[in-house]
Amino acid sequence: MWFTYAIITVLAWGTADLFYKKGNKAGDRLSHLKTVIMVGLVMGLHAFYLIFTSSEIYDPINMIRYFPVSAMYILSMAIGYAGLRYIELSISSPVQNSSGAVSALLTFVILGQTMTTTQFFAVTIISVGIILLGVFEKQLADRERLLDKKAIDRKYRLGALALVLPILYAIIDAMGTFLDGYVLTNTMSEMQANVSYELTFLICGLIAWAYLKWIKNEPFTVIDERANGAAAIFETIGQFFYVYAMASNAIVVAPLISSYSMVSVILSRIFLKEKLSKKQYLVITAIMVGIAILGME
């Protein structure tokens, strides 16, 4: 079942990426905090739903035990949201999603998990494809700017944050994924881990809301954050299935799930009318072949 769970996560997080893109407001310096609030609210509601409906009793002490993993994930996500103001999603998303390959390497070296030759081949196709997808998106974006005679925003060309933020995301998220694989294998069940993460995110969301309201005096209403709300729903759906996939086969699942950037690119083409080059179509096909190989293993 790990493959099914992983595919659901890929589709859910790829869709969430689309709504993150729609919800990001370039002129709003606090938009990343508003995104954190929305994700925290939705995850919190889902956590309480699981607590009251699951046959397994939730132990609150697991929030502390799982906190190192939660902290890595939430910090990397906040950095990713903030990075959208400094670098285009077409570049940042593939760079960020290289974390899957990094976490797989850590899982292999430190935890000693292994994969078959066929799985290694498929994971290599997926990992290389994700990187190439970002490279080709950047080339296409630059070509369109030349045709439209648009200058690249200075913050994209010269700001150090334009490169530092997605790289930080990849490193921190890779550490979180690695720790997650260890915790889910040795420490607690999927339900305990998922609820712990979602409750921690809820607390972060409430802190962000308090900061906006009482420190920044920034108005915030849920109805104005519909795109981020949709992103939060798909983020939560993906998270639910993610922990079950990771618990079963972390070394293969991590790079597989990183391919959700492919889904985001396809959906952007369909709903945001963004163009794709022939190279991108070829890379997407290669990634799908890699996913199919893993599904047949």
Q: What is the 3-state secondary structure (H, E, C) of 217-231?
A: CCCCCHHHHHHHHHH
**Domain coordinates of the chain in residue numbers?**
2-21+32-296
- Amino acid present at 218: E
Cα separation of 14 and 262, whole Å?
7
* pTM of structure: 0.84
Cα separation of 279 and 139, whole Å?
10
User: Closest by alpha carbon to 260, among 284, 229, 240, 293?
Assistant: 284
* Per-residue confidence in pLDDT tens, the chain, 297 aa: 889 999 999 999 999 988 987 877 767 778 888 999 999 999 999 999 999 999 999 999 999 999 999 999 999 888 877 666 555 555 555 566 666 666 777 777 776 777 788 888 888 888 788 778 767 766 766 676 666 655 544 444 434 555 577 778 888 988 998 899 889 988 899 999 999 999 999 999 999 999 999 999 998 999 999 999 999 999 999 999 999 999 887 878 888 888 887 888 788 778 877 677 788 888 888 888 888 887 776
250-278 per-residue burial string, b: 16 or more CB within 10 A, e: under 16: bbbbbbbbbbbbbbbbbbbeeeeebebee
User: Closest by alpha carbon to 65, among 240, 197, 257?
Assistant: 197
Cα separation of 44 and 284, whole Å?
34
